[in-house]
Amino acid sequence: MSLSPKSSALPAPSRRLPPGLLLGIAALLVVLALPMRDALPPAGHRVLAILAFAVVVWISEAVSYEASAVIITSLMAFLLGTAPTVADPSQLYGTSAAISMALAGFSNAALALVAGALFLAAAMTHTGLDRRIALYTLSRIGAGTWRILLGAIAVTVLLSLVVPSATARSACMVPIMMGVISAFGVDRRSNVAAGLMIVVAQATSIWNVGIQTSAAQNLLTVGFMEKMLGARISWIDWLIAGAPWALLMSAVLFCTVLWLLPPEPGSAPADREVIKRELAALGPMPGAQKRLMGVTVALLLAWSTEGKLHSFDTTSITYAGLVVLLLPRWGVMDWKDVQSRIPWGTVIVFGVGISLGTALVTTHAGQWPANEVIARTGLAALGPLGILAVLTAFLIVIHLGFASATALTSALLPILISVLTILPGDFNRLGLTMMLGFSVSFGFMLPINAPQNMVCLGTGTFNARQFAKVGIVLTLVGYGLMLVFSATYWRWLGWM
């Protein structure tokens, strides 16, 4: 008995291109068709067209970030390859030189640090040390609604130090917190459950600001600092600047959740022993976790003393730690253990993002819009605090359209750094770049604005409206605190 063709045929895949991709292509062609500006070289004109395509595709998520990285690389190879060089307009770049420009980001130390950070995060999840740290911290905080919320924030702070991936931290926290919700008998749709999960997502974003190695966009910012400003901010200097802001914002988050999502009568969890039983079930700490803890503490000490006790950079220190973790017998994992836990797409997108940002500089594509912004907005007359206020507000608003802070950083930070370098006046451009890097992590308002938000939204414990209520307060207060810190604390540190 034979099957009919109709019954055996698979559904035909859709041949229609996603609307976002079509819009991206249209943006590319429109920018290419615009009249050339005398101050903008042809190569820079084409890089801006590629940037327009990238922004539309990243905002619409028409294709995956990994696929967009491949498309952008190809566009850079052919559009730049057929463009005259900036140094000698009578010569073309050629596709060989252009593809080298498109892949230049993969030799950047910031990309190496991101890859190393992902390895550390994989080691944490492979050995289960992240879960042990989370449960131990919660067991010390205790039960009760406010204690559990405070415990979730405390765990996030600790994991931000040792797990350099926001997505990995939230992925670790979610099952633990869902287990707490279930064990305490709390309704999944209650304010307690909603508040707990919102705290996990929002605290992760807050501490992306406080700790340099906690998020990929921070490391991308450091990479652009080195490339465009010839200097970077050390791990400890970033912590000294960002951690006080993050601590205050953690208190704001705690109070806001209790205010906007008050616990229902009789819904407060009260059994502290539940968490202790979960921790006891893990048993004694195995040797792999002890060794990983030792390496992690050593890395934290080495990161925090860079420039004080030694001159080794953060990337080199991190890779020394990875050597120990990957050693036979003495390490905690091998390549097979780690390769499936690394989001390699993040590494690819990060590398292409650095390449695109570097091309914006080398082809003068970043300087031209920077000059236009200064000429048409009167930014030069505002002074450092006014400049930061305007550019930070711009990044916070534009972030509403981005699902990735890394993509936002790749697209806009090189142009904003170019604005800072061209502006007249005696102010600390490196410090202002760090503060703009802080504002990139303001993914507080919409669940789609950060991967950790989407991980927590997937639990079904809260809706977008509840998230936005808390997020609007955090955004407004966080922006105000940034201005206050800029006028006082960060100025005293010499970063303004």
Tell me, what's the pLDDT at 243?
97
Model's pTM, two decimal places?
0.82
Interatomic CA distance for residues 459 and 194, integer angstroms: 9
Tell me, what's the pLDDT at 11?
52
Tell me, what's the pLDDT at 4?
44
DSSP string, 99-127: HHHHTGGGG-HHHHHHHHHHHHHHHHHHH
Which contacts (CB < 8 Å, 24+ apart) does range 382-390 have?
383/425, 383/427, 384/425, 384/427, 384/428, 384/432, 384/486, 384/496, 385/483, 385/486, 385/487, 385/496, 387/420, 387/423, 387/427, 387/432, 388/432, 388/435, 388/436, 388/482, 388/483, 388/486, 388/496, 389/483
Q: And the tokens for 243?
A: 């951690």
CA 374 to chain centroid, in Å, comes to 28
Band the pLDDT of 269: cuts 50, 70, 90. Answer: low
Band the pLDDT of 207: cuts 50, 70, 90. Answer: very high
Burial 347-374 (b: 16+ CB within 10 A, else e): bbbbbbbbbbbbbbbbbbbbbbbbbebb
Let me know how long the chain is. 496
Sign of the Cα torsion 362, 365, 368, 372 reads: negative
Sign of the Cα torsion 435, 392, 62, 372 reads: negative
Tell me, what's the pLDDT at 271?
55
Half-sphere exposure of 268 (CA within 13 A, CB side): 13
Band the pLDDT of 276: cuts 50, 70, 90. Answer: confident
| Beta carbons of 184 and 193 less than 8 angstroms apart | no
Give 105-161 pLDDT, tens digit per residue: 888 887 888 888 888 888 888 898 888 888 888 788 766 778 888 888 998 999 899
Nearest to 303 by CA among 162, 121, 461: 162
Band the pLDDT of 78: cuts 50, 70, 90. Answer: very high
User: Mean pLDDT over all residues of the chain?
Assistant: 87
Give 294-336 pLDDT, tens digit per residue: 999 999 999 999 888 898 988 899 999 999 999 988 899 888 8
Indicate if the pLDDT at residue 441 is higher than 80.
yes
Band the pLDDT of 186: cuts 50, 70, 90. Answer: confident
| Beta carbons of 47 and 5 less than 8 angstroms apart | no
Q: Find where tokens 């707490």 sit.
A: 180
Tell me, what's the pLDDT at 145?
75
Tell me, what's the pLDDT at 240?
96
Band the pLDDT of 210: cuts 50, 70, 90. Answer: very high
Burial 240-251 (b: 16+ CB within 10 A, else e): ebbbebbebbbe
Tell me, what's the pLDDT at 5?
46
Q: And the tokens for 313?
A: 């950079």
Band the pLDDT of 173: cuts 50, 70, 90. Answer: confident
Helix, coil or strand: residue 18: coil
* More confident of the two residues 206 and 446: 206
Tell me, what's the pLDDT at 387?
92
Give 443-495 pLDDT, tens digit per residue: 898 887 888 888 888 888 999 899 999 999 999 999 999 999 999 999 999 99
Quick one: average pLDDT of 183-190?
77
| % residues pLDDT > 90 (the chain) | 44
Tell me, what's the pLDDT at 42?
93
Residue 330, Ramachandran bin (φ over 0: left; ψ between -120 and 50: alpha; else beta): alpha
| Beta carbons of 84 and 43 less than 8 angstroms apart | yes
Q: Over 146-197, what HEC string results?
A: HHHHHHHHHHHHHHHHHCCCHHHHHHHHHHHHHHHHHHCCCCCCCHHHHHHH
Question: What's phi and psi for 84, nearest 5 deg?
Answer: -65, 145
Band the pLDDT of 372: cuts 50, 70, 90. Answer: confident
Quick one: average pLDDT of 347-358?
85
Band the pLDDT of 13: cuts 50, 70, 90. Answer: low
| Beta carbons of 152 and 203 less than 8 angstroms apart | yes
Burial 394-427 (b: 16+ CB within 10 A, else e): ebbeebeebbbbbbbbbbbbbbbbbbbeebeeeb
Interatomic CA distance for residues 363 and 365, integer angstroms: 5
Give the Å distances, CA to CA, from 371 to 45, 204, 213, 244, 377.
14, 36, 32, 34, 10
Interatomic CA distance for residues 103 and 354, integer angstroms: 9
Question: Averaging pLDDT over each range in 143-157, 169-183, 184-198, 379-393, which range is the top one?
Answer: 379-393
Band the pLDDT of 1: cuts 50, 70, 90. Answer: very low
Sign of the Cα torsion 429, 431, 437, 438 reads: negative
Q: What's the first-to-final CA gap in the chain, in angstroms?
A: 80
Quick one: average pLDDT of 197-208?
94
Tell me, what's the pLDDT at 272?
63
